[in-house]
Amino acid sequence: MVNPLYLFAASLAAAFLLPLVDKLGRRVSLALVYATIAAWGAVALSYLWALLYAGVGARAFGTAGFVAPLAIMLRVGPEEAAGLLAISGVGLLAAGAMRRPLAEAPIGGAMTLITALMGMSGIVLTRDLFNLFVFLEIASISTYGLIAFDDRRGALRAGFKYMIAGGIASALYLIGVIYVYRFSGHLNLDMAAAAPGLFGGAGTIAVFFLLAALLVELKPFPANGWAIDAYQTADPGVSAILSGASATALLLALWKVMPLLGEAHLAAVAGSGLATFAAGNLAGARQGRARRMLGYSSVAQVGLVAAVAALDRLLGLGGLRFTYLVAGGLLLNHLLAKTGLFLLSSAIGDDEAARGGAAGKRGEGALSPFGAVVAGVLAAALVGLPPFPGFWAKWTLIQALAGRESWWLIALILGASLVEAFYVLRWLIAIVKGEAGALAKGERGTIEPGAPIPARIRLGAGALAPALAAAALVVSGVMLGWNLSVSDPLLWAPFAAAAILFAIDRAPGWLKSLLSIAAAAAFGWLAYDRLDGLRQLFAIMLLGGGAMYSFAAMYKGGARRGLHPLLSAATLALGSVLVAETPLGFFFAWETMTLASFLLVLRGRESRAAALSYIVFGLGGAFLLMVGLVAIPGAWSSGSTGSAGAGWPVFLILAGLLVKLGALGAHVWLPGAYAESDDEASGFLSSSLSKAGVFVMVVALAAFGRVLPFQATSMRILGWIGLATALFGALYAIYQEDIKKTLAWSSMGQIGYVILALAIYDQAGWTTALYLALNHFLYKSMLFLAIAGVIQRVGTRNMYEMGGLIKKMPFSFLSVLMAIIALSGVPPLSGFGGKWLLYSSLLEKGWYIEAAVAFFASAVAFLYLFRLIHTIFLGQPKPSQAMVREAPLALTIPQGLLMVVLFAVSAFPRLMLDPIMRVVGEAFDPVLRFEGSALVSPLGYWDGTLSMIVTIAVFALCFLWMIANLHNPQTVKQFNIVYAAERPFRPETTHYAWNFYAPYEKALGFLTRHRGERFWAAVGTGVDAVGGAIRRVYTGNGQTYALHVVLYVVALYLLMGAL
Amino acid sequence: MNALEVLAKINPVAASGAVLVLVGLWGVMAKPNLFKIAVAFSVMETGVNLVILSVGYIRGRTAPILDSAADAASASARMTDPVPQALVLTAIVIGLAVTALMLSYAVRLKAGGGGSSIESYGEEKW
């Protein structure tokens, strides 16, 4: 191993030679700067190599020819080597991005950059407490210089405040260090830690001063206003160094003094860190300025890392490996993502974007596709989505905390993470989409003439550093996942598919469609051996559905950039939910699906708000699911069945799934997401993706349904939740003017029936549930595909602007007709079977009121179905739509296929019911059975084949009778009607399809006042208000910040005394 | 008598150092003038340095210099602790650098047209 002293010498020499070298030109001097930083990085890599692969142990270097206690020791172990690599890596990225400001400012900027990074590296390496102070001061003083190196006013203001806080911290540190020396007799850390004198009353106080200084340097809430001001105002490169490199160094300093800390100290660290994580994120949620928002996020993340390291020592969460994985993973995730995002915010000139204000370049348009991918990777990593290090760290952390039953800590950490996800992704959406969805508008070609063509912001060389950070995140995330033995290639397939399809994103859409279908087929083939009967049924809906929508995506020409990679990734993620064998593997697949589908929604035209609520609810549901999974030992292992240990955690799993399924109360994300995404993506979300939640619910209830606390009552409540979802979904649907909103609410209602049927919890109920799920997949696909064609041809989603399309689009009409017959449960199509099954099993179970309400709900559903076909396909054709043609083949072929399938399973119900009953039969005693083609229940029987024959026969007879009795028929033309002479002010108000069900609204409208939306809006306002109150602490006055520091230290001391 | 005993136990150097630290802290938090804040930091640092020195001082011993008063053999029994004195030197140098940087910040801020009160530099907030 190279002696690190050489590096210090090199850095100092370079820094002091810079003014001389600068005479040769700024290029030469900057080259020297980069070379010096790179040398640190190269040596750090060689250390890592030696420690991890060559098997060399950690080594301590003496200085000046002596060893401790006579001299300062420098130690190189794994955490030191990794820390050095992080510091030099962040330094190099930031310095690269700061090339221009560094070239323009006086050479002092470059000098302070080198010395700041050297100081941070020294903090990492030294084992001497006083030397730690010296390096802290070198790093701090250089940082003060660096903050204002380009003489910008804001940074000067913030820098002064930074110095005040830093000055107080260093006074505290000095006092601490000298008394530690007094009581232990040593300045060397390892020797001091071994000295008994430190653990008495006075020694504890000495260590407290030391610790308080380090904590203040780590920017705890509320003593961190000075740091946030600096993050906001300094050059983003400097902010990246502060947030990434400096935090790494200080966290390692804290890590290093941990052997000196007693339990009370550790509790103070953990409490302070968690408070910072929560408060920082709440205050961040209120931020409109991107860099200040990133600043809040930075202090929050650093707080969490510090808390994790302390919690491990306090609670014994898993020892060194745990801390490396979780604290190290979180830190790596934070420093790469934050560095990338700070530099990205600089590259796009974005500072006012976070809350939707338009300023800077962003107001002009959306990010270029490459920039959007980079921004997406960085933001997703920061939020802790797979496959990035933060995801693995979060899972391991929550699992360990659940093992210690620290539920409050879990709630705090996940709650604050959710808030962080909210504001980080809000910013992502703002920068990726530009104003009002410029990205998608440009593609559709429906932009009004005269409107400016939306500009794409190209990042150019500015994208290099963020892209490198993003690449490092991907690589480290994959390595960590592999390390946690999530090595099943099928689980990684979604990412591979997305990457490949993104790489060829310029290729024509049909090629990518075919590749996506091939990917889904290959996945199914490879996974086939692992799919049992239940999983095969769902594979048809999930993988088959995904492939079908990939095919349908060809209905619009062009490359349709971004659509295919996301659709394919989401499809394969659904597949991997089916094949996952461990809880972590499952959760990985689940979050992958959440991420892919969020991006899919985001791709829609006006989907900013919808995408945000989709991901916030998606993550919220996923967090509930995660806690439930980790709280039940052995959950999701193959063949796990109800153990006595599983109790209330099952409720968490169910609650998470209900959020994902859009059950009433947590449904507010659903209409927006289904309505605003691309038309085929809506269909995919509604008919395929929602079935993933059904699948998991089936598995969870099969495994744990019998050990649920208060089993009967719980199931009844679950049933009522499903029923309410069905009823209100239908009620909301009937008042919509927007056709996709109608279908969205309808989807919610139909899933409600599935939940109700699952809650019946016997063979009949579950047969019903799976039958309804498969049917919903069939007819909702037909509806969404047909409607996609209609919207494409008529260019609007408002039903009152359509009409009389039956002659223009007969095939789509037929498809919608069949679908609504099936959906409404009228014979002869399969929906009747579903309704028959539902009512029989409800009555059999003795749930009479439920049966009555379900019947009422399906009557309501009939209203919107009637409106759908009546206002779109019947009625008066619009003159403007005279040239409308049938939908493209890409849409009609899948519809034709679905019609054939629907007809087949309606005429021969055993095609579908036999496999379902085989699956359900494994779990329940039989209630239903087949006698020939008749399905027999204790209450009666249903013969699908017979009813099909009877219906066709009756229809044919009537039809023949009509033909036979038709004398002198007259064709009615469109205008064979009488007009009134009035010209209304708003034409649509006189259209019969406008406000179609106004009378019903008078009667039932009070039920549809969107209380769920109001409730969640109030929750949002509440969080927002708390965040707003918290950030009022940061008054901007340097002396108030000094007071915060002093009060923080006093409060910490008092708390420590109390513990 | 008791009070006197307590007083006699107090290390006068440490006590005056602590007083200076508190005075400096008060100055940092109570005086809005940028230059006075810098001066207050100097006062605080001086106090800290006194505290450090007080730890090394052992009553009745000689300065840590090898001469006729203490040879190498008896040094550890007859000298005060030299380590804190060495540390103080470093701390003084660092304090100087911080004070200089703080003053240059104050000059820059004022030269840029700002006031000399820290209250006029609160634009970044919330």
In a shared domain, residues A861 and A954: yes
- Window from A356-360, A398-402, A514-518, A1047-1051 with minimum mean pLDDT: A356-360
Average pLDDT rounded to a whole number, residues A46-69:
89
Shared domain check, A770 and A662: no
Query: Is A307 within a domain?
Result: yes
Name chain A contacts of B87, Cβ cutoff 8 Å.
130, 177-178
Residue with tokens 């602490």: A1033
pLDDT per residue over A244-279, tens digit each?
Answer: 999 999 999 999 999 999 899 999 999 999 999 999
Measure B123 CA to nearest chain A CA, in Å. Answer: 6
Helix crossing, A263-285 with A1038-1058: angle to 10°? 140
Q: For position A750, what pLDDT does the model report?
A: 94
Question: Which of A663, A681, A709 represents a domain boundary (last residue)?
Answer: A709
Please state, in angstroms and as integers, the Cα–Cα distance from residue A218 to each residue in A72, A128, A307, following that order. Answer: 24, 20, 11
Domains, chain B, with CATH or none: 2-58+76-114 (1.10.287)
Helix (H) or strand (E) holding A61: strand A59-61
Secondary structure (H, E, C), A968-986: CCCCCCCCCCCCCCCCCCC
Distance from CA of A85 to the nearest CA of B (A): 27
Q: Specify whether A690 is located in the same domain as A766.
A: no
- Confidence band of A972 (pLDDT split at 50, 70, 90): confident
**Gap from B52 CA to chain A (nearest CA, Å):** 6
- Give the domain-ending residue among A964, A995, A1012: A964
The 10s digit of each residue's pLDDT in B15-67 is: 999 999 999 999 999 999 999 999 999 999 999 999 999 988 887 888 888 88
pLDDT at residue number A851 = 94
Please report which confidence band the pLDDT of residue A881 belongs to, taking 50, 70 and 90 as the band edges: confident
Are A337 and A469 contacting, i.e. CB atoms less than 8 angstroms apart? yes
pLDDT of residue A218: 95
Least confident of A509-523, A905-919, A960-974: A960-974
Nearest CA distance, B2 vs chain A (angstrom)? 23
From the CA of A774, how many Å to the nearest CA of chain B?
52
Contact (CB, 8 A) for A53 and A111: no
Residues A665 and A800 reside in one and the same domain: no
CB-closest option in A156, A187, A1042 to B29:
A1042
- The mean pLDDT value for A1044-1050 works out to 95
Query: Which residue of chain B is at minimal alpha-carbon distance from A289?
Result: B126
Structure ipTM: 0.95
Helix H, strand E, coil C: the string for A608-627 is HHHHHHHHHHHHHHHHHHHH
Whether residue B101 and residue A161 make contact (CB cut-off 8 A), yes or no, is: no
Mean pLDDT of A365-382: 86
Write the pLDDT tens digit of every residue in A759-777. 999 999 999 999 999 999 9
CA distance A599 to A375: 12
pLDDT at A438 (0 to 100): 36
A141/B101 Cβ within 8 A = yes
**Closest residue in chain A to residue B51, using alpha carbons only:** A175
More confident residue, A552 or B120: A552
Token pair belonging to A646: 């599983």
pLDDT given for residue B118 in this prediction:
87
| Cβ within 8 Å, pair A1039-B91 | no
For B14, nearest residue in chain A (alpha carbons): A175
pLDDT at A446: 37
Instruction: Provide the H-helix boundaries in A795-909.
Output: 810-824, 830-845, 848-873, 889-907
Closest CA to A462 of A94, A104, A30: A94
Which of A181, A225, A1038 faces B121 most closely, judged by CB atoms?
A: A1038
Tokens of A889: 């083949």
Are residues A914 and A880 both part of a single domain?
A: yes
Closest CA to A235 of A83, A110, A84, A376: A110
Q: Which residues pair with A75 in a beta bridge?
A: A60
Please give the helix or strand (H or E) that residue A468 lies within, else none: helix A464-483
Cβ atoms A649, A634 nearer than 8 A: no
Per-residue pLDDT band for A542 (boundaries 50, 70, 90) equals very high
Q: What percent of chain A shows pLDDT beyond 70?
A: 93
Give the distance from residue A160's alpha carbon to the nearest chain B alpha carbon, in angstroms. 7
Looking up tokens 């001299």 gives A71
Provide the 3-class DSSP secondary structure of residue A502.
helix
Residue A161 in any domain: the answer is no
Q: Is the pLDDT of residue A353 over 80?
A: no
Instruction: Look at residues A617, A544, A535 and name the one whose alpha carbon lies nearest to residue A577.
Output: A535
Q: Is residue A714 part of a domain?
A: no
Query: How many whole angstroms separate alpha carbon A90 and alpha carbon A84?
Result: 10
Average confidence (pLDDT) over A488-501:
94
Assigned domain for A315 exists: yes
> Tokens standing for A592?
């992958």
Any CB–CB contact under 8 A between A130 and chain B?
yes
Do A703 and A581 lie in one domain? The reply is yes
What is the structure's pLDDT at A356? 42
B124/A134 touch (CB, cutoff 8 Å), yes or no: no
The region of weakest confidence among A447-456, A472-481, A639-648 is A447-456
Report how far residue A925's alpha carbon sits from residue A343's, in angstroms, rounded to the nearest whole number. Answer: 62
Q: What is the mean pLDDT of residues A14-37?
A: 94
Quick one: DSSP state of residue A888? P
Interatomic CA distance for residues A766 and A751, integer angstroms: 14
Counting the structural domains of chain A, the total is 3
- Domain for residue A175, yes or no? no
Question: Using CA atoms, how far apart are residues A917 and A932, in angstroms rounded to an integer?
Answer: 15
Q: For residue A166, what are its two tokens?
A: 């830093």
Question: Do B108 and A187 make contact, defined as CB atoms within 8 angstroms?
Answer: no
Smallest CA–CA distance from A144 into chain B, residue: B101
Rounded CA separation B122/B114 (Å): 11
Listed ranges A280-294, A818-832, B32-46, B61-75; the one with the highest mean pLDDT: B32-46
Q: Which of A137, A144, A1046 sits opposite B94 (nearest CB)?
A: A137
pLDDT tens digit string along A604-659? 888 888 999 999 999 999 999 999 999 887 777 655 554 545 678 889 999 999 99
Question: Given this model, what pLDDT does residue A984 score?
Answer: 59
Q: Which residues of A touch B80 (CB under 8 A)?
A: none
List the single residue in A133, A167, A178 with the smallest CB-CB distance to B84.
A178
- What is the structure's pLDDT at A632? 84
- The answer to whether residue A152 neighbours chain B at the CB level (below 8 Å) is no
Q: What are phi and psi of A404, to 5 degrees?
A: -95, 5
| Closest CA of chain B from A44, distance in Å | 28
Same domain assignment for residues A558 and A631: yes
Q: How confident is the model at residue A535 (pLDDT cuts 50, 70, 90)?
A: very high
The DSSP line for B52-99 is HHHHH--TT-B-S--BTTB-TTTHHHHBPPHHHHHHHHHHHHHHHHHH
- Element spanning A943, H or E: strand A940-943
Substitution target from A126, A178, A291 for chain B, most B beta carbons within 10 A: A178
**A553 and A700 share one domain:** yes
CB contact under 8 A, B45 and A134: no
Whether the pLDDT of residue A977 is over 70: the answer is: no
| Three-state DSSP state, A940 | strand
Across the range A396-405, mean pLDDT stands at: 92
CB contact under 8 A, B124 and A233: yes
Q: Which two tokens stand for residue A752?
A: 């409600």
- The answer for A 244-303 residues in CB contact with B (under 8 A) is 286, 292
Does B28 contact A1042 at a Cβ distance shorter than 8 Å? yes
Chain A: closest CA distance from residue B107 (Å): 11
Interchain pair B126, A1032: CB under 8 A: yes
Chain A CB contacts of B37 below 8 Å: 164, 1038-1039
Q: Considering only CB atoms, which chain B residues are within 8 Å of A1037?
A: 118-119, 122
Q: Find chain A residues with C-beta within 8 A of B109's C-beta.
A: 156-157, 160
Minimum mean pLDDT among A520-524, A634-638, A766-770, B104-108: which range?
A: A634-638
State residue A436's pLDDT score. 39
Mutation for B interface: A132, A133, A157, A205, most B CBs within 10 A: A157
Q: Give the model's confidence band at A913: pLDDT under 50 very low, under 70 low, under 90 confident, else very high.
A: very high
Does residue A980 carry a pLDDT above 80? no
CB contact under 8 A, A151 and B108: yes
Q: Please tell me which residue of chain B has the smallest CA distance to A180.
A: B55
Whole-number pLDDT of residue A638:
53
Among A250-264, A573-587, A849-863, A962-976, the range scoring the smallest mean pLDDT is A962-976
Interval A140-183: pLDDT, tens: 999 999 998 988 888 999 999 999 999 999 999 999 999 999 99
The pLDDT, as a whole number, for residue A646 is 61
Closest CA of chain B from A204, distance in Å = 17
Identify the pLDDT of residue A319. 85
Alpha-carbon dihedral sign for residues A825, A831, A836, A841: negative
Q: Which two tokens stand for residue A937?
A: 């229940």
Q: Which residue of B has its CA nearest to A173?
A: B48
Q: Does A1026 touch chain B (CB under 8 A)?
A: no
With 90 as the cut, is the pLDDT of residue A288 above it? no
- Chain B environment of A1038 (Cβ under 8 Å): 37, 118, 121-122
Average pLDDT over residues A106-110: 92
| Least confident among A2-11, A246-255, A313-322 | A313-322
HSE-up of residue A865 (Cα within 13 Å, Cβ side): 26
Residue of A nearest to B46 (CA): A171
Strand runs (DSSP E) across A167-214, as ranges? Answer: none
In a domain? residue A578: yes
In this predicted structure, the answer to whether residue A413 has a pLDDT above a threshold of 60 is yes
Q: Which residues contact A382 (CB under 8 A, 6 or more apart)?
A: A297, A333, A334, A337, A338, A341, A390, A420, A424
Task: Check: CB of residue A127 under 8 Å from CB of residue A256.
Answer: yes
Residue A1031: list chain B partners with CB under 8 A. 126
Q: Which token pair is A129?
A: 């407490």
Domain that holds residue A529: 505-709
State how far residue A515 is from chain B, nearest Cα, in angstroms: 50
Please say if the pLDDT value at position A451 is more than 50.
no
The reply to whether A302 and A433 lie within a common domain is yes
d(CA A427, CA A292): 12
Q: Rounded distance, CA A857 to CA A730, Å? A: 7
| Better-predicted residue by pLDDT, B17 or A357 | B17
Among the three residues A964, A995, A1028, which one is the final residue of a domain in this structure?
A964
Residues in B closer than 8 angstroms to A157, CB to CB, are 109, 114, 121-124
Judgement on whether residues A755 and A797 belong to the same structural domain of the protein: yes
A334 interfaces chain B, CB cutoff of 8 Å: no
The mean per-residue pLDDT over the stretch A765-794 comes to 94
Q: Is residue A259 part of a domain?
A: no
Q: How many helices (H) and strands (E) are present in chain B, helices listed first? A: 5, 0
Closest-CA residue of B relative to A1044 is B29
Distance from C-alpha of A286 to C-alpha of A277, rounded to nearest angstrom:
15
Q: How many CB atoms lie within 10 A of CB A812?
A: 26
The answer to whether residue A797 sits within a structural domain is yes
Q: Are residues A885 and A931 in the same domain?
A: yes
Compare CB distances from B55 to A144, A181, A233 and report the shortest one's residue: A181
Q: Are A334 and A242 in contact (CB under 8 A)?
A: no
Could you give the angle at the alpha carbon of A448 between the alpha carbons of A444 and A451, nearest 5°?
A: 110
pTM of the model: 0.92
Q: What's chain A's average pLDDT?
A: 89
Q: Are residues A796 and A861 in the same domain?
A: yes
| Closest CA relative to residue A719, chosen from A862, A858, A849 | A849
Residues of A in contact with B102 (CB under 8 A): 160, 163, 167
Question: C-alpha distances in angstroms, A1012 versus A652, A665, A668, A1019?
Answer: 20, 5, 7, 11
Q: In sequence order, what are the residues at sequence separation of 6 or more whose Cβ sits closer than 8 angstroms to the Cβ of residue A1018?
A: none
